[in-house]
Amino acid sequence: MISTVKGGSGGGKSMRKSLEPGNQEVKIVGVRLTPGYLKDYPDAYSLIYIMESKPVGGNFEGFLRDKNDPSLGTHEGKVSWVKAAPFPFINGTNKFGKEENRDENILKSIKSLCIQTGCYEWFKSANNQYESIEEFVEAFDQSKVYEDKWLYTCIQGDQYEKNGYMEWGLSLPYSKAGRYPYASVDGDQSKVIQFDEKLHIKTRVKKSSDDDIFI
C-alpha cells in the first residue's frame, strides 16, 4: 500500500522537525515565559528559549515561522522549545533548603545568554526600564538582539508519549564543575557539558498498571 501521509510505501519515516537531545549548534529565535505548574509555587515560571538547528537542507520542510502567517515560510532547521533550566524558577525555599528568587534567577539566565551571544549591552541598557519580569522577557524577545548568534549546546530530554508518538521535553542542564550548558560557537567549547545519554535522557515507560514512570 502507498501512504501519502507517512511518506511512501511501507510507512516510511519522515524526518523530525524538532530538536533531539545531544551536543549541537543552535541559535535562539524566540524567548518566552510559561507557567511552571508547581502546586506549592503557583507563581513559578519556566523560561523558554526557542532554538533552531543549522539548516537541514535537501527536501526538509520545517515548522512554519508564524502559524498565523504562512507567507513567512518555514524554518530551515529543526526547532524546539527548550527550557532554560530543568526545573521552573520559583520564589521560596527549594528542596535543598536554599532560598530562591524567581525574577533574579531568570535575569541571571538571560544575562548569561546575552554574554555568550555578544549582546550584553542590551542587558545593561535595560536596567530599570521595565516594571515586571514579564515585561522584561517580552522586551528581550522583541529586541531580537540574539538572532543569528550561534551557540554550542548540551540539550537534555525527557521522553514521553503523545498521541501515540514519542516526543521530547527538552531543557538545558545546570552548570556543574566548571562546565556549562552552552557557549558561543566562537568561544571555548571545551567548557560545555559533554552530553551523556545516561545522565541527560529520561524515558517514560509503561508499567503493568499502565502508569508511566521515568527511568
6 assigned to some structural domain: no
d(CA 81, CA 48): 6
- Mean pLDDT (the chain, rounded): 86
Cell of 31: 524567548
pLDDT tens digits for range 195-211: 999 999 988 654 444 44
Which segments of 39-92 does DSSP mark as H helices, in order? Answer: none
Of 197, 147, 151, give the one whose Cα is nearest residue 29: 147
Q: Is the pLDDT of residue 45 over 60?
A: yes
Mean pLDDT of 208-215: 43
Question: Where do the DSSP E strands lie in 70-192?
Answer: 79-83, 92-93, 99-100, 151-162, 165-171, 182-184
pLDDT tens digits for range 95-106: 888 999 999 999
Radius of gyration of the chain (CA): 19
| pLDDT score for 91 | 95
pLDDT tens digits for range 24-36: 999 999 999 999 9
pLDDT tens digits for range 156-196: 999 888 888 788 999 999 999 899 999 999 999 999 999 99
The rounded percent of the chain whose pLDDT value lies above 70 is: 88
Q: Phi/psi at 205 (nearest 5 deg)?
A: -125, 160
63 assigned to some structural domain: yes
Structural domain boundaries, residue 40:
14-214
- Whether the CB-CB separation of 94 and 179 falls below 8 Å is answered with no
Q: Which residue has the higher pLDDT, 176 or 75?
A: 176
8 assigned to some structural domain: no
Cell of 11: 510507512
In 3-state terms, what secondary structure has residue 200?
helix
Q: Is the pLDDT of residue 212 over 70?
A: no
9 assigned to some structural domain: no
pTM assigned to the model: 0.84
122 assigned to some structural domain: yes
In 3-state terms, what secondary structure has residue 118?
coil
3 assigned to some structural domain: no
Highest average pLDDT, of 62-66, 105-109, 200-204, 209-213, comes from 105-109
Number of domain units in the chain: 1
Angle between helices 102-116 and 133-143 (to 10 degrees): 20
106 assigned to some structural domain: yes
